[in-house]
Amino acid sequence: MNRPYNFSAGPAAIPEEVLQQAASEMLDWHGSGMGVMEMSHRGKEFIAIYEQAEADLRELLAVPPEYKILFMQGGGIAENAIVPLNLSRAAAVDFVVTGSWSQKSRKEAQKYAAEVRTAASNEGDGFTTLPAPASWQLSRGASYVHICSNETIHGIEFHELPDLKALGSDAPLVVDFSSHVASRPFDWSGVGLAFGGAQKNIGPAGLTIVIVREDLLGHALPACPSAFDYKIVAENQSMYNTPPTWGIYMAGLTFQWLKRQREGELTGVAAMELRNIAKAQLLYDFIDASPFYVNKVAANCRSRMNIPFFLSDESRNNAFLAGAKERGLLQLKGHKSVGGMRASIYNAMPMAGVQALVDYMRDFERSAA
């Protein structure tokens, strides 16, 4: 089946093999007589699905044994509250603001943390740069330092996580990795917690992944809802409340798909990283070489997942989107707060899709000349 290329920022494209497998198992999972959505989360069938998904994610992201993997609900926006409810200990927290998502996280934390400080921010330059870690004003004794490692709206990515120890901070790093989880290997040293909604790189909306270092459990503020207390969730293997079973199953199929991906010697997320670098480079190189298209993000922090761009003549935006749709290139409209276009090219987007986009952009530019 020839499906269009889907550039949505999320919920986003899912690998076709994963969708096919889910379709084939929809009515009867492995001879059980039940579809996954119809199973008790406590039955042996679903427990097997859950355990495999958790083990595969641990393997893919090389999650060390002292970290718990939690499958929760609420999405990244709920985590903006759940993280300070669990980790702030009613003390100060540091935020590095690099775009809309870290900005939103900071605002929500103000409801729960005793004090919210801004260690660094790129607000002044229109969210186009990454403040150099050496310039961050980290506070002494902060409960944690929050970053968003890939800003989905502004297209800014930390290509390396900061080393807080080297910057003089003992605080654990909290990372919102919603929009690039599993797109590259992840360095856990210094990370206390990472969270992300599944709906970009992992599966359907409704599942939130939280990976948290064990020593940070058990310090929730008294007001923290039990269903969102990481210690309670961890003690109950993510089944204190009914977990998002369909999301966990779909994520599990995606993890199996990821484990099958190869680039030379590399497999899994290391193979994906190689592909993602090549995909992003194709598009950025084309944009940079053309006077017709613009991306304003500094070269050292351009996202490999979300590439916002503008037509230099914005009166052509609607024609661009209509022509793209005719060519089977969907959901390229930029976020409403930024305008222009945005191509989200997560793991499920093949190189052929990015090439088709670049070919279309070249043709559109010529036709407009």
- Is there a cis peptide before residue 162, judged by omega within 30 degrees of 0? no
Which two three-digit tokens encode residue 165?
Answer: 């120890």
Choose the binding region for ligand PMP from 30-38, 70-78, 182-190, 245-253 (rule: CB under 6 A): 70-78
Nearest partner of 231 among 247, 219, 245, 248, judged by Cα: 219
Catalytic residue among 29, 68, 101, 188: 101
Name the residue nearer to ligand PMP (CB basis): 39 or 72: 72
CB of 254: closest distance to ligand PMP in angstroms?
A: 16
Catalytic residue among 68, 200, 231, 333: 200
Nearest partner of 219 among 114, 83, 106, 110, judged by Cα: 83
Choose which of 5, 6, 10, 133 interacts with ligand PMP (CB under 6 A). Answer: 10
Other CB atoms within a 10 A radius of the CB of residue 142 amount to 24
Name the residue nearer to ligand PMP (CB basis): 245 or 293: 245
Interacting positions 135-154 with ligand PMP (CB under 6 A): 148, 152
DSSP bridge partners of 68: 212
Which two three-digit tokens encode residue 342?
Answer: 């945005």
Catalytic residue among 56, 68, 136, 176: 176
Nearest partner of 91 among 161, 209, 170, judged by Cα: 170
CB of 199: closest distance to ligand PMP in angstroms?
A: 6
- Here's the x/- map for ligand PMP, 89-108, by CB under 6 A: it reads as ------------x-------
Task: Give 276: exposed, middle or buried? Use CB within 10 Å, 0-12, 13-18, 19+.
Answer: buried
Choose which of 88, 122, 179, 276 interacts with ligand PMP (CB under 6 A). Answer: 179
Active site residue 68: no
CA–CA gap between residue 93 and residue 139 (Å, rounded): 8
Active site residue 200: yes
Q: Just list the catalytic residues.
A: 101, 176, 200
Judged by the rule CB under 6 A, the positions of this chain that interact with ligand PMP are 10, 75-77, 101, 148, 152, 176, 178-179, 197
